[in-house]
Amino acid sequence: MAGRGTMKIVYTMPAFMLCGGVVHHCFVIQRLVARGHQVSIYSPVVQDREFLPPLPAGVEVHPHPRVRSNLYTLPSERHPGKFLQAFWDLTFGLRRIAEDLPADADVIQATFYPNVYAADWMRRRKGSKSVLFQAIHIDPRLFLPMSYRKRYAWLWAGAPRRADHLLAVCEALARSLRERYGRPVTMVGNGIDDELLSGPPGVPARAAEFLGTQGRPYVLFVGSITRRKGVDTLIEAFAGVRRAHPDLLLALVGRCHFWPFFEAIAERCGVSEHIRKAAGADRQTLRHLLDGASCFAFPSRAEGFGLPPLEAMARSCPVVCTPCEGVEEYARPGENCLQVSADNPGELARAIVKLLDDQDLASKLGQGGRLTAGKFTWD
């Protein structure tokens, strides 16, 4: 141990960038440091720090100079240069990550499947006695094929069995992981930060300036812009919503590595000029965006928890979502949200129009969401 009651904790991440998992880890790290632990982060990709919750003083983020890829995903084989580089980094490159990790860590927190292999190799090569945790934010049977496609997912499917202890973000996921892997599992839930839970009312002009909406109403989505999040369904639904509300915009806030795919859908649906896109937003800007939105849409196909809808609820923004495993921890249809089936643009469009047309319903759901979000805090 680094000192009595103090642990040296090392996070090994596939990428330190804006996503729900990294936001979660930033808030956990804040609390670990407040309890006197020493924390450091190792990651091949470091970006979006201006959008992420601030790290406490003394927490260092170390890049891996010999590994360059975002290990969350594999690029398409249609881009052979990028694909081969990422595949190399996800296989042989994991040993380079292992060489960079410190052997004297008391705890290694691997936040994604390839990082578990790297951390375990480090322990074997260096004789480290570090305890290895893996954080799992979504069922691997769903997420691994989505991240790496079915033909490559098996390469990293055994990662949870190499960890000493697993961490889950919701009780349903924790139960399934215990049954499947026979490892101890602890539930470390998500929470809402003070900026969103108790921050002052947002300024509409700030949201309009950030998005370039020029005062037009908008439906808001926050999260990674991917098929797993149902953004393709949302764009198709938005085309239907605009027939009833032609002045409406769709605001997509989050990282997107495959925008041409979604852009083609938007062009086919005739709504490309009515979409506003931003790579991310800091916590204060997010407050302005949520307070200015007509509603929040989150038609995800799979989630481990799904923090953005709960953040919207914290700002009394009416929510439309799908019944994913993690979202069901807090979503109560008719009480704090409207719920629709995944992959159903028509149903999603009707739910959004219902919120836009019925302000009493939108207000009721917003108030119910606010009460729900107040039960999910970090302290």
Reported as half-sphere exposure (CB side, CA atoms, 13 A), residue 133 has a value of: 20
Question: With contact defined as beta carbons under 8 Å apart, do 68 and 98 qualify?
Answer: no
Distance CA 183, CA 116 (A): 14
Question: With contact defined as beta carbons under 8 Å apart, do 79 and 21 qualify?
Answer: no
Assign 255 to helix, strand or coil: coil
Distance CA 139, CA 302 (A): 9
Mean pLDDT throughout 73-101?
A: 94
pLDDT at 358: 98
Distance CA 113, CA 19 (A): 16
Fold equal for 8-187 and 194-373: yes
pLDDT at 326: 86
Angle, CA of 192, 197 and 201, to the nearest 5°: 145
pLDDT over threshold 60, residue 189:
yes
Question: With contact defined as beta carbons under 8 Å apart, do 281 and 165 qualify?
Answer: no
Q: Give the pLDDT band (50/70/90) at residue 5.
A: confident
Task: Look up the pTM and report it.
Answer: 0.92
Q: Give the pLDDT band (50/70/90) at residue 1.
A: very low
Q: What tens digit of pLDDT does each residue of 248-290 get?
A: 999 999 998 889 999 999 999 999 999 999 999 999 999 999 9
pLDDT at 2: 45
Mean pLDDT throughout 93-117?
A: 97
Percent of the residues in the chain that have a pLDDT greater than 70, as a whole number: 99
pLDDT at 95: 96
pLDDT at 3: 47
Superfamily (CATH H level) for 194-373: Glycogen Phosphorylase B; (3.40.50.2000)
Percent of the residues in the chain that have a pLDDT greater than 90, as a whole number: 88
Distance CA 369, CA 192 (A): 12
End-to-end alpha-carbon separation of the chain, Å?
Answer: 26
Average pLDDT along the chain: 94
Other CB atoms within 10 Å distance of the CB of residue 237: 28
Q: Give the pLDDT band (50/70/90) at residue 304.
A: confident
| Pair of tokens at residue 212 | 């370039």
pLDDT at 78: 87
Residue 136 to residues 11, 22, 33, 242, 291, Cα–Cα distance (Å): 14, 12, 22, 38, 31
Mean pLDDT throughout 52-73?
A: 95
Distance CA 181, CA 313 (A): 34
Other CB atoms within 10 Å distance of the CB of residue 127: 8
Q: What tens digit of pLDDT does each residue of 192-237 get?
A: 999 999 999 999 999 999 999 999 999 999 999 999 999 999 999 9
| Pair of tokens at residue 202 | 């947002």
Q: Give, for 292, the enclosing helix (H) or strand (E).
A: helix 283-292
Please write down the HEC assignment for all residues of 305-352.
CCHHHHHHHHCCCCEEECCCCCHHHCCCECCCEEECCCCCHHHHHHHH
Domain ranges, ordered by start, for the chain? 8-187, 194-373
List Cβ neighbours of 268 (8 Å cut-off, separation of 6 or more). Answer: none
pLDDT at 147: 87
Cα 143–chain centre separation: 12
pLDDT at 257: 80
pLDDT over threshold 60, residue 4:
no
Strands 60-63 and 38-43: parallel
pLDDT at 142: 86
Distance CA 54, CA 29 (A): 10
Name residue 70's amino acid: N
Q: Give the pLDDT band (50/70/90) at residue 379.
A: confident
Q: What is the CATH number of domain 8-187?
A: 3.40.50.2000
